[in-house]
Amino acid sequence: MDFLYLEEIDSTNKYAKERVNDIKDMTVVYTFNQTAGRGRLQRKWSYMGEDNIYASIVLKPSNVYKEVYSNLTQLLCLVLAETFEEYGIEPQIKWPNDIRVNGKKISGILAEGINNGKYLEGLVLGFGVNLNVSKELIEKIDQPATSLNIETGMYIDKEYFLKKVIDKFCLYYNKFIEEGFLLIRDDYLRRAEFLNKEVAVKVFDKTYSGIAEDVTPNGALKLRDKNNQEHILLIGDIL
Ligand code: BTN
């Protein structure tokens, strides 16, 4: 993996998307000063100070879209969870790719595909990780959030953390593209906090409610609603 460090940028995802043709496959675009981070569901990703990670992995696996690419966020999510565990904490996964500790968000992923109408030009897997945030600042976020220093009581070396995540991601990557979500399904499910719980899932303009029963071999959420009807959700966000 190549690393492209930016002193300051509005959004690493936006930067990578706009220059995708000039950026090599397997490049990590990262900064410690992101001024207008973007999140899922039209949310923003707040700047938490320069001791945190704001990064986007640029991938160009092929020029036609394959279903497995949509699962790459789940791979990154697992890799982040495993990295957090090395610091002695127990993160949990909220389908498809949020990571939380005791119900508080510690990391978020925003994946974007770039298509020129004919070809897939690239995939951008953006991730933000709260590594060193003060308690005062974390409380100002509009949803329950935490950071690794708060959870461990230690200052976290951001460069070391980023390298760990990228090394782990690379270890899985080729095999994952070949084998798909099934490769990590057991490890993913072991950390899933949502199973057998009542959830509401937003899929574009629609919200599905029911019990989250399982995650299928291709990473979709299996939901059973109150009329006992089963829904297989390939994309969406648990609210
Ligand atoms: C979410 O949980 O809503 C996803 C947040 C993703 C934030 C990261 S920070 C680096 C990259 N650049 C962005 O603008 N967003 C992602």
Q: What is the pLDDT of residues 91-113, one digit of tens each?
A: 999 999 999 999 999 999 999 99
| pLDDT at residue 32 in the model | 98
Q: Tokens 């959420």 map to which residue? A: 221
Nearest residue to 126 via CA among 59, 41, 42: 59
β-sheet bridge partners, residue 208: 201
Percent of the chain with pLDDT strictly greater than 70: 100
Query: Whose C-alpha lies nearest to ligand 1, atom 3?
Result: 39
| pLDDT at residue 41 in the model | 85
CA of 114 to the centre of ligand 1 (A): 16
- 10 Å CB burial of residue 232 (0-12, 13-18, 19+) is exposed
Q: Measure the CA–CA gap between 106 and 185, rounded to whole angstroms.
A: 22
- When pLDDT is averaged across residues 123-147 and rounded to a whole number, the result is 96
Q: What is the pLDDT of residues 52-61, one digit of tens each?
A: 999 999 999 9
Nearest residue to 111 via CA among 59, 35, 187: 59
The 3-state DSSP class for residue 221 equals strand
| Contact assessment for residue 185 and residue 96, using Cβ atoms and an 8 Å cutoff | no
Write a three-state SS string for 60-87: CCCCCCCHHHHHHHHHHHHHHHHHHHCC
| Contact assessment for residue 125 and residue 166, using Cβ atoms and an 8 Å cutoff | no
**DSSP string over 79-121:** HHHHHHHTTT---EEETTTEEEETTEEEEEEEEEEEE-SSSEE
| pLDDT at residue 208 in the model | 97
**Please, what is the average pLDDT of the chain?**
97
CB under 8 Å to 175, separation ≥6 — which residues? 183
| pLDDT at residue 89 in the model | 97
CA of 177 to the centre of ligand 1 (A): 23
CA of 227 to the centre of ligand 1 (A): 36
Q: What is the pLDDT of residues 14-40, one digit of tens each?
A: 999 999 999 999 999 999 999 999 999
Q: What is the pLDDT of residues 204-215, one digit of tens each?
A: 999 999 999 999
| pLDDT at residue 42 in the model | 85
Q: What is the pLDDT of residues 219-239, one digit of tens each?
A: 999 999 999 999 999 999 998
Task: Say which residue, 6 or 118, is predicted with more confidence.
Answer: 6
Q: What is the pLDDT of residues 65-92, one digit of tens each?
A: 999 999 999 999 999 999 999 999 999 9
| pLDDT at residue 1 in the model | 96
Q: Is 132 in the pocket of ligand 1 (CB under 6 A)?
A: no
Q: Is 17 in the pocket of ligand 1 (CB under 6 A)?
A: no
Q: What is the pLDDT of residues 137-190, one digit of tens each?
A: 999 998 999 999 999 999 999 999 999 999 999 999 999 999 999 999 999 999
Given strand 104-115, what is the order of strands in its sheet?
A: 2-6, 27-31, 53-59, 120-129, 104-115, 98-101, 92-94
Pairing of strands 27-31, 2-6: parallel
